[in-house]
Amino acid sequence: MSLLFTPLTLPSPRGGLTLPNRIVIAPMCQYQSVNGEATDWHLMHWANLLNSGAGLFTIEATGVLPEGRITSACLGLWDDRTEAALADKLARARKLAPQVPVCIQLAHAGRKASSHIPWEGGQLMAPEDGGWETFGPSALPQLPGEAPPTELNATGMERIKQGFVDAARRADRMGIEAIEIHSAHGYLLHEFLSPIANQRHDAYGGNFENRIRFPLEVFAAVRAVYDGVLGLRLSATDWVEGAWDVHQSAEFAKRLKALGCDFIHVSSGGVSPQQKIALGPNYQVDFARQIRETSGLLTIAVGLITDPHQAEAILQSGEADLVGLARAFLYQPRWGWQAAAALGGVVQANPVYWRSLPREAQAVFGKVAVGTR
């Protein structure tokens, strides 16, 4: 039997969450929100991906505070207004699809906030263009020539921590089954981990123990109020000599497990323009393997995974427990169906689609295709 189409239970204090297969739709920023609110774009996008055959769908990076968004068009979950919009669009999307577990990625962009959307350049916005004050562990800009962020003090750090806690409560209230804390790609919590962005001289900077302190505090605060499936997305390496690396990541993952972390979603890079990424198929998978072996945590592997047999091989070799895809699902929203056809798996699908497959692939739905009169 295909491991990709074998169920997996994610543990949690609440009793765990069983996924019908090991395919995870990784979070993908859409830049289609208005004042942090989900829009009809999200209704269409989410309903489409909930019909994809994946075992778990992850909502894009969602700002826990207004200033924590990457762009002014990013999704948010910081007040009753943003909660109501997200809850409405998600509930409507879920009515149009099989019962698929949903995860949400809660995020704060740190010094990479206040940026233009990608197709408008993606660079830091000036105040006259609608930009806002950004924050980081140290007053160090992401790129040379950019305005530096404001170095966070104790009050600012506590506000951010509370933002994560409040957003987790809101997500739980709307029935989202899992939460992923974003600590990757050069955003705030990754900035604290990396000596490239964190050059503080207090208890939150300097050595490894100090740099992991605030991310661990945020995770512990969320775990204290949320007993569902809770994981974290991590950049396993900065791809810069002498900076954050996979060995530190593995040790950090051990600390997270002790705090009740249920999974690690293993990515890399994003904190420095000096990064030298060895790009290619499976280029991040070995990081997932090392973190899995060292920490004992369930891991999600991502990174140029596009073929069903490639995904299956990652699981068969024990390098990861789940496989995440993002761009592949944007290009082919029924990737899960194609994988099932290739590997002999079965997926859930809305009966409206039962007639859509060619006859040789009809077993994907576990049903005989419905004919017409």
- Tokens representing 341? 């056809």
Distances (CA, A) of 245 to 36, 159, 234, 319: 33, 28, 11, 18
Give the count of alpha carbons within 13 A of 338, CB side only.
12
Which run of H or of E encompasses 182?
Answer: strand 178-183
- Tokens representing 338 are 């194609």
What is the total residue count of the chain?
373
Q: What share of the chain is helix, strand, coil (3-state, %, to 5)?
A: 35, 15, 45
Please say whether the beta carbons of 309 and 4 come within 8 A: no
Kind plus residue range of the DSSP H or E element containing 136: strand 135-136
Asked if 353 is an active-site residue, the reply is no
Q: What one-character-per-residue DSSP string does 7-55 give?
A: -EEEP-TT--EEESSSEEE--------BTTB--HHHHHHHHHHHTS--S
Residue 366: partners with Cβ closer than 8 Å, 6 or more residues away = 346
- Looking at 31, 187, 204, 226, which residue is catalytic? 187
* 260 Cβ neighbours under 8 A, 6+ residues apart: 13, 223, 230
Q: Which residue type does 263 have?
A: F
DSSP type of residue 114: S
Residue pair 189/215 in contact by the 8 Å Cβ criterion? yes
Coil/strand/helix, residue 258: helix
Could you list the active site residues?
A: 187
